[in-house]
Amino acid sequence: MIIYYIFYEIFQDFFRFFKFWYQEAIKFIFDEFVKNFLFIEKNFSIRLNLKHFFKPLYGIRSIEAYFYAIPLRIILISISLFLHFFNTLVFLIIFLIWIIFPILSIFIFKFI
């Protein structure tokens, strides 16, 4: 029983670290990614702009409104796509750094 307790005390922090590092923190990073994705979608709304692409803005039925609506929607869709791409890129970089960092730290401290 005492051997079990010694091993438990030694490895408890080790396993708790891996549970935090690879489970809880990755869940937090993914939740932040989803929050950013929904924030971008709420403010720029690709689907809504594509659905109403050839309709005038704010229901104003004039020729000027039609001419303003299409370029403005193209700009909004472009900004939204760029922000989604940037959000995904940042998420992947943070995710890969987070996954690889413990392995890199072992190699760094091994050579010091």
Q: pLDDT tens for residues 50-99?
A: 888 888 877 788 888 888 888 999 999 999 999 999 999 999 999 999 99
Q: Check residue 1 and give its pLDDT.
A: 73
Question: Mean pLDDT in the chain?
Answer: 88
Domain boundaries, the chain: 29-111
Contact 50, 64 (CB under 8 A): no
- Secondary structure in 3-state letters for 54-99: CCCHHHCCCHHHHHHHHHHHHHHHHHHHHHHHHHHHHHHHHHHHHH
In this prediction the pTM is: 0.76
| Mean pLDDT of the region 12-32 | 89
Gap between the Cα atoms of 92 and 95, Å rounded? 5
Q: Provide the Cα torsion 74, 80, 82, 86; round to 10°.
A: 180
Check: CB of residue 41 under 8 Å from CB of residue 34: no
- In single-letter form, the type of residue at position 21 comes to W
Q: How far apart are CA 30 and CA 35, in angstroms?
A: 9
More confident residue, 60 or 47: 47
pLDDT at 61: 81
